[in-house]
Amino acid sequence: MALEDEYAQPEEIRWEGRYIAAKTRGRWEYVSRTRNVTAAVILAIDNDHVIMVEQFRIPLGRRSLELPAGLVGDDDGGEGEDPQVAAARELEEETGYRAGQIVSLGEFQSSPGMVTESYTLFHATDLEKIGEGGGLDGEDITVHRVPLAQVDAFIAARRAEGYAIDTRMLLFLGARLISV
C-alpha cells in the first residue's frame, strides 16, 4: 500500500493525556501534541556569543544541551498566541535575555516519521541581559553564553560529560561547514 493511501485511512487515538496523544493511521504509530500546540526555538546570538540552555529531560534521564525553546499558546487561554511573542517570552524566561530583534527563519518538523510537532526557528539579536533566567518554577534551567569560536569544544565537552545534545545544535556544525 502506498503511503498516500495509508494516510487516507482514519486516524485513531490510542491514548491521550493532557499534553500528548499516541495515534495510529494504518500501520503507522506516532505522537502529537494535544490542542495542536507548536513550539518556538530561539537561536540567540550576542556579540559573537550564542546563548544555550541545559536542563534535565525526564524522557532521556539526563541533562540536555539545547537552544532556548518553548511551547506556543500552551497556557490555558493562550490559544492563538503569536509564535514571535512566544519566542520573546521564552527567551526571557529561560535565559534572562531580551531581544531587540527577533526574526523568523521558518517552520520545521522535529522528527517527521514519529511526531507531528513543528517549531518555528527564530534568530534573536541585539540582546540585553534583564534577569537571571532559569525558567519557571521547577524547570531548573542553566544558561550558557558561549563564544561562537568555542561552540564545537563546548558541545564536545558536554557530550563527554554524558549530556544529551539536542539535534538543533547541528545548526552550528552546518554553519561551520557552509563557511569552509
pLDDT in tens, 130-153: 999 998 888 899 999 999 999 999
2 and 72 co-located in one domain = no
Q: Supply 138's cell numbers.
A: 521547577
108 shares a domain with 24: no
User: What does the pLDDT look like over 6-57, one tens digit per residue?
Assistant: 788 899 999 999 889 999 998 899 999 888 889 999 999 989 999 999 999 9
Closest CA to 141 of 64, 59, 50, 49: 64
* CATH code of the domain in which 115 resides: 3.90.79.10
16 and 79 part of one domain: no
Count of beta carbons in the 10 Å neighbourhood of residue 57: 14
∠ CA 13-15-28, nearest 5°, is 50
Which residues are catalytic, by number? 139
pLDDT in tens, 101-141: 999 999 999 899 899 999 999 999 999 999 999 988 888 99
Number of domains in the chain: 2
* CA torsion through residues 113, 117, 123, 125, sign: negative
Cα 111 to its chain centre, rounded Å, is 12
Domain that holds residue 2: 1-36
pTM of the entire predicted model:
0.89
